[in-house]
Amino acid sequence: MIIMASKCSKLVVTLVFLSLVYKSSAIYCYYCNSANNSACLDLNEMNDETRARIIPVVDCATSVMQPVAGDFFCRKIIQTIYNSRRENEVRVTRGCGWIRSDKPCYRADNSDHLETVCQCFHDHCNSGEMVSSETAVVLFLFFSGVLYLYR
């Protein structure tokens, strides 16, 4: 009886461990396009409850069509579309990515649009501007120095 309980507990521990491994590999990203959902332009302008009702969140592992598989991440694309007859249009697209860049953000300048693409690697990270901790420290030190000199 003790041997059977031991085998059962090992099985339960193994199943729990495997479920944690699967869960940790999933990433959840905001999924929207401002061309058909204007709320996608700036997700930080709304509270969490409103955002949850208006902006879908997807599990990249299950929402990206197969045979694309791999190490998914969240992506945010900001496009400025040049129009010769009216004002330029800004579009924001948020979703999943699967081909990584060497840089967290990069720009592409084409004849008809300017594109900034940013990638990030934790749940819901494609909601807004990304400021690295190093940048925040440098800005803090800079403004502290300015305030110190002009007090």
pLDDT of residue 69: 62
Could you tell me the CA-to-CA distances from 30 to 40, 43, 65 in Å, in that order?
A: 9, 9, 17
pLDDT of 140 reads 56
Distance CA 78, CA 98 (A): 18
Residues of the chain with pLDDT under 70: 1-25, 66-69, 129-147, 150
Nearest alpha carbon to residue 26 among 77, 69, 66: 69
Q: Where are the alpha helices (DSSP H) in the chain?
A: 2-25, 48-54, 60-63, 133-149
Q: What is the pLDDT of residue 15?
A: 37
Straight-line distance from the first to the last Cα atom of the chain, in angstroms, rounded to the nearest whole number: 78
**What pLDDT score was predicted for residue 1?**
53
Domain spanning 27-149: CATH superfamily:
CD59 (2.10.60.10)
Q: What is the pLDDT of residue 20?
A: 39
**Pair of tokens at residue 149:** 């000199």
Look at residue 110 in the predicted model and tell me its pLDDT: 87
Closest CA to 25 of 57, 56, 58, 61: 61
